[in-house]
Amino acid sequence: MALSVHLLRPWQKLLVGSTASVMTSKWSRCSSVLSGNRVRMVEKSPNSTDPETSQGVCTIHGKQQQQATPISRAVFPPQAVFKRRFSALCGSSEVQEGALIMEKVCLNEAARMVEVEWSGGGVSRFPYVWLRDNCQCPQCFNPDSRSRLVLMSDLDVNVSPVDVTEVSQAKGSSLSVEWPDGHKSRYDWHWLKERCFSTQALSERQKDWQRKTQLWGAELAHNMPKADFPALLTDDRALYDFLVRLDSVGLVLVQNVPCDVGQVEKLANRVAFLKHTCSGKEFVVMNKTKPGSDVAYTSVKLGLHTDLNSYTYKPGVQMLHCIEQTTGEGGDNSLVDGFNAASQLKEENPDAFRILTTVKVNFRHVGMDYHKYFHLKRRNVISLNDQEDIQSISYSDQSRTSILDLPADLVQPFYDALKAFNTIMCLPRNCLSLKMAAGELIVFDNNRTLHGRSAYSPDSGTRHLQGGYMDWDEIYSRMRAIKADLGIEA
Ligand SMILES: [Zn+2]
């Protein structure tokens, strides 16, 4: 193990990293092969007392020194002290705040990794093949398209560096690697840190992929996530905060929306663009005289559902803008957190949960709207991800077909499961009722939030909604872009 071979005291080790590349005219570099590991290091003279002025001599560490404390456990001086000394040694201006110095870099041939010991403590290990594959030079990487130019067919996956050095700069260290064909790669400390393979770094990065889901029930009506439409159109931070709420809660009420058509598209264009479906770019929900392909275009009660389950890539998010609301009874929207309902089902009725996560249901949409269409998809009512977490709800009594590809004796248990899920959804504690006013717009996660509508009388004035869809890929993309532009942390 290359890191445990030398016996330097903390202050001496400090010098090893800080002077390795900047004082090569005065100090020699040393190479040694110990226990099959190639180790390169420089060390100050052991009889010197002033590390800032003394001349160093090169020492090759012998096998008798292999019992030393591993560097990763060593105690280092405070960063500020280190930086002052580093500046004095390399003659450069102060090391920039937050920049990291590589105290030592070496090759670990047994593990086929470059090991980097950081000034702030800790060691990172970078596999040889990964370093070669991710060389950032213009021959290997196009910075404009941010894409790799080294193709797998040209990559030697068994390549080993012939040399590694630490290059010290005011902005922090970089790692220089020389390959057998003479090619040289340079990796900035920050770039390496962001890609660290340590258990801690891997678990930190894993958090970025974990959704921060806030489950809710009917009580959300008293604490409804809200957004101001004009702010969403002009303020990127407001748009970002809105999308964060949409992601975690799965439902946001947007207010102060002009009461005319086209607002849904305006909002979608601020995020990315509308998702075109068989209903067209946008759709209108009104009591049409000839409803044709969808019961939404009537005044009857609409059961809780998610939209377009018949699509392989069903829309991720739905927007419904209330342009005009009926003045009579009814026309309220019911909204249910499907993740919350499914979690309750899992707890209360594991058999039903298992059936709905395993049995495939056929969903169909056939009709004539934007064009003549025939969508058909088989899917689970409750989908889990590879961590067994609830990932998506696909529920619609309206579009679930009569064809059930199940052995007959499994049909009754399937209905029992579906009924149990529906019963939980409809519990007063879970089902939020919202009668949108003209000028309001709800945006909700179509993979999670089920929506329905109470019946209303078509004689009590017009009820006019305009709807549209967006996809999560575009939403997440926009969130990352705003986050980077505005420098939003976490
Ligand atoms: Zn390169």
329 shares a domain with 242:
yes
411 shares a domain with 438:
yes
Centre of ligand 1 from the C-alpha of residue 293, in Å: 58
Q: Cα separation of 461 and 158, whole Å?
A: 74
Centre of ligand 1 from the C-alpha of residue 163, in Å: 15
H or E element at residue 482 = helix 472-486
To the nearest 10 degrees (0 to 180), the angle between helices 472-486 and 236-249 is: 140
137 shares a domain with 96:
yes
Distances, alpha carbon 410 to alpha carbons 353, 378, 393, in Å: 14, 17, 21
Q: What is the pLDDT of residue 297?
A: 63
Is residue 213 included in any domain, yes or no? no
Q: What is the pLDDT of residue 368?
A: 84
Q: What is the mean pLDDT of residues 126-148?
A: 96
185 shares a domain with 127:
yes
Q: Is the pLDDT of residue 428 over 80?
A: yes
Residue 166 has, within 13 A of its CA and on its CB side, a CA count of 34
Is residue 89 included in any domain, yes or no? yes
CATH number at residue 203: 3.30.2020.30
Terminal Cα-to-Cα distance of the chain (whole angstroms): 36
Out of 177, 207, 237, a domain closes at 207
Centre of ligand 1 from the C-alpha of residue 136, in Å: 6
83 or 108: which leads in pLDDT: 108
Is residue 179 included in any domain, yes or no? yes
378 shares a domain with 234:
yes
Q: What is the pLDDT of residue 14?
A: 30
455 shares a domain with 424:
yes
354 or 80: which leads in pLDDT: 354
Centre of ligand 1 from the C-alpha of residue 191, in Å: 15
Q: What is the pLDDT of residue 52?
A: 30
420 shares a domain with 374:
yes
Which range, of 13-17, 85-89, 97-101, 168-172, averages the lowest pLDDT? 13-17
Q: Is the pLDDT of residue 308 over 60?
A: yes
115 shares a domain with 229:
no
85 shares a domain with 233:
no
Q: What is the pLDDT of residue 291?
A: 52
Neighbour tally for 265: CB within 10 Å: 17
Centre of ligand 1 from the C-alpha of residue 164, in Å: 14
Centre of ligand 1 from the C-alpha of residue 152, in Å: 14
Out of 207, 237, 255, a domain closes at 207
**Number of domains forming the structure of the chain:** 2
H or E element at residue 194 = helix 189-194
112 shares a domain with 85:
yes
286 shares a domain with 167:
no
Centre of ligand 1 from the C-alpha of residue 239, in Å: 39
Centre of ligand 1 from the C-alpha of residue 97, in Å: 29
Neighbour tally for 24: CB within 10 Å: 12
Centre of ligand 1 from the C-alpha of residue 186, in Å: 8
Out of 207, 242, 271, a domain closes at 207
List CB contacts of 356: < 8 A, sequence separation 6 or more: 342, 345, 380, 381, 382, 417, 418, 421
Is residue 481 included in any domain, yes or no? yes
DSSP 8-state assignment for residue 21: T
Q: What is the pLDDT of residue 96?
A: 72
Centre of ligand 1 from the C-alpha of residue 204, in Å: 29
Is residue 444 included in any domain, yes or no? yes
Q: Is the pLDDT of residue 234 over 90?
A: yes
Strands 226-228 and 251-255: parallel
Centre of ligand 1 from the C-alpha of residue 399, in Å: 55
Is residue 334 included in any domain, yes or no? yes
Centre of ligand 1 from the C-alpha of residue 137, in Å: 4
331: containing domain? 218-486
Centre of ligand 1 from the C-alpha of residue 140, in Å: 4
CATH number at residue 403: 3.60.130.10
Is residue 281 included in any domain, yes or no? yes
Which range, of 82-91, 333-342, 465-474, averages the lowest pLDDT? 82-91
320 shares a domain with 395:
yes
Which range, of 23-27, 66-70, 153-157, 255-259, averages the lowest pLDDT? 23-27
Percent with pLDDT over 70 in the chain: 78
Q: Which single residue is written with the structure tokens 């003549």?
A: 372
Centre of ligand 1 from the C-alpha of residue 127, in Å: 16
The whole-chain average pLDDT of the chain stands at 81
Region at 15 (left for phi over 0; alpha for psi -120 to 50; beta for the rest): alpha
Q: Which tens digits make up the pLDDT trace of 7-52?
A: 232 333 333 333 232 222 222 232 222 222 233 333 333 333 333 3
Q: Is the pLDDT of residue 4 over 90?
A: no
167 or 297: which leads in pLDDT: 167
Centre of ligand 1 from the C-alpha of residue 154, in Å: 12
Is residue 43 included in any domain, yes or no? yes
Q: What is the pLDDT of residue 209?
A: 85
Centre of ligand 1 from the C-alpha of residue 150, in Å: 8
